Amino acid sequence: MDYFEWNDALKVGNQLIDQDHFELVTLVNELHQAVQEGKSTDVLAKILQALLNYTQEHFQREELLMEHIAYADIEAHKAMHQKLLDQVLVLQDAFERGRSEVASNTAELLRYWLTHHIMRTDKKLSHAIREAGLLEL
């Protein structure tokens, strides 16, 4: 069983967003598994960087979509994205300064944050996308 289980409750009904979320869940699981297996800091650093990069790319895609539909809650949604990125950057910095336990903390933070962000905020965005007449991009 995966640490962070992808399931239908996490789907927002937009193929692009759902695929991004699936990839993020996969990366969180990869990070958690590497921590559990006691992988080297080099391996953990690569996974952390991939997770950060993919998260930034996903947020950019979502934010462009929000701009495209003139999403009413765009500023609040973008602020949530930035707050998470700031937290992850702090954790990544601590990891790079030798605090290897931060990798596990990052996996936990992202599992919690993604679950709640998807269930509350991204489902609301997906509804607005459908209301704007965009089924898929």
Chain position carrying tokens 């509804």:
127
pLDDT, position 137:
47
The count of other CB atoms within 10 Å of the CB of residue 64 is 10
Tally the domains of the chain. 1
Residue 8 falls inside a structural domain: no
The SS3 of residue 69 is coil
Residue 118 falls inside a structural domain: yes
Residue 134 has pLDDT above 80, yes or no: no
Residue 57 falls inside a structural domain: yes
Greatest pairwise CA separation for the chain in angstroms: 49
Residue 108 CA from chain centroid, whole number: 12
Residue 43 falls inside a structural domain: yes
The count of other CB atoms within 10 Å of the CB of residue 62 is 23
- Residues of the chain with pLDDT > 70, as a percent, come to 98
The DSSP code sequence of 67-125 is HHTT-TTHHHHHHHHHHHHHHHHHHHHHHHTT-TTHHHHHHHHHHHHHHHIIIIIIHHH
Residue 93 falls inside a structural domain: yes
Residue 104 CA from chain centroid, whole number: 15
Structure tokens at 132: 């704007």
Residue 119 falls inside a structural domain: yes
Domain ranges, residue 91: 13-131
Which CATH number characterizes residue 27's domain?
Answer: 1.20.120.50
Model pTM score: 0.92
pLDDT band at 1 (very low <50, low <70, confident <90, very high): confident
Structure tokens at 35: 């921590």
What are 40-92's pLDDT values in tens digits?
Answer: 999 999 999 999 999 999 999 999 999 999 999 999 999 999 999 999 999 99
Mean pLDDT of the chain: 93
Residue 33 falls inside a structural domain: yes
What's phi and psi for 51, nearest 5 deg? -65, -45
Torsion, CA 81, CA 135, CA 53, CA 9, rounded to 10 = 70
Residue 104 falls inside a structural domain: yes
